[in-house]
Amino acid sequence: MKSGGVLEVPLALILLVEDNEDDAALALRAFRKHEPNREIHVAADGVLALEFLHGKAGAAPTAPLPRFVLLDLKLPKLDGFQVLERIRQEPRTSNLPVVMLTSSAEQTDIERSYALGANSYVRKPISFGDFLDAARQLDDYWSSLNLTASRS
């Protein structure tokens, strides 16, 4: 699409996998403050995240793949490690950038995340100002600077 001679590029979709409503609201507020029209899908547990990415009960997915996934570790039903493993096992999502966004700074969690194929590991900032800065940096890098493999 062109508007006034300028190519319009649709904003990248982000999948936020977060069960804590306050943390999800904080993330949404921070990302939308940086990019007000950013499309963000929130999944409150690991099963909902995988259904969004892979479709429900064998049905084809209806949503386009997000540009990147922000994945918490401690989730109901399936934890972040299990979700990450399944993302990497499926051809459709095997190259999808996944950023672990969690409150854990445990070295074992960091090492396991990278061993399972995480692209980045970010500890959740506590203050809104710090969260806003982190959201801006994550969004700029994963939505604009980072080049991804083509997806089918």
Domain coordinates of the chain in residue numbers? 10-130
- The tens digit of pLDDT for each residue in 91-124 reads 999 999 999 999 999 999 999 999 999 999 999 9
Beta strands in 4-129 (DSSP E): 6-7, 13-17, 39-43, 68-71, 98-102, 120-123
pLDDT of residue 56: 85
Lowest mean pLDDT among 86-90, 118-122, 134-138: 134-138
For domain 10-130, the CATH architecture is 3-Layer(aba) Sandwich (3.40)
Q: Please state whether the predicted TM-score (pTM) of the whole model is above 0.75.
A: yes
User: For position 148, what pLDDT does the model report?
Assistant: 76
| 10 has pLDDT over 70 | no
On whether the CB atoms of residues 49 and 24 are closer than 8 A, the answer is no
- What is the arithmetic mean of pLDDT over 1-16? 60
Q: How far apart, in whole angstroms, are the C-alpha atoms of residue 134 and residue 126?
A: 11
∠ CA 93-99-103, nearest 5°, is: 140
Q: What's the rounded Cα separation, in Å, for the pair 149 and 152?
A: 10
Q: State residue 88's pLDDT score.
A: 97
